[in-house]
Amino acid sequence: MNFWELILILLVALVVIKPERLPEVAFTLGLWTARIRRFTQSFFEKYDH
């Protein structure tokens, strides 16, 4: 993902999500991203033999 794609995503997020809720949504998205990464990492560690 390049810089302009990230800017476009942020602009769309500002339009779709109210600016006052954006920090809450970003925090929740970060939590879910971390959970998915941990799950996939443990999955590949377990079955990558």
Give pLDDT tens digits for 29-39: 899 999 999 99
Q: How many domains, in total, are found in the chain? A: 1
pLDDT at 13: 85
The first and second tokens of residue 29, run together, are 């998205």
Residues 38, 41, 43, 44: what is their CA dihedral angle, to the nearest 10 degrees? Answer: 180
pLDDT at 9: 87
pLDDT at 14: 85
CA 29 to chain CA centroid, nearest Å: 5
Domain of residue 40 covers 3-47
Helix (H) or strand (E) holding 27: helix 22-47
Residues of the chain with pLDDT under 50: none
In degrees and rounded to multiples of 5, residue 21 shows phi and psi of -95, -10
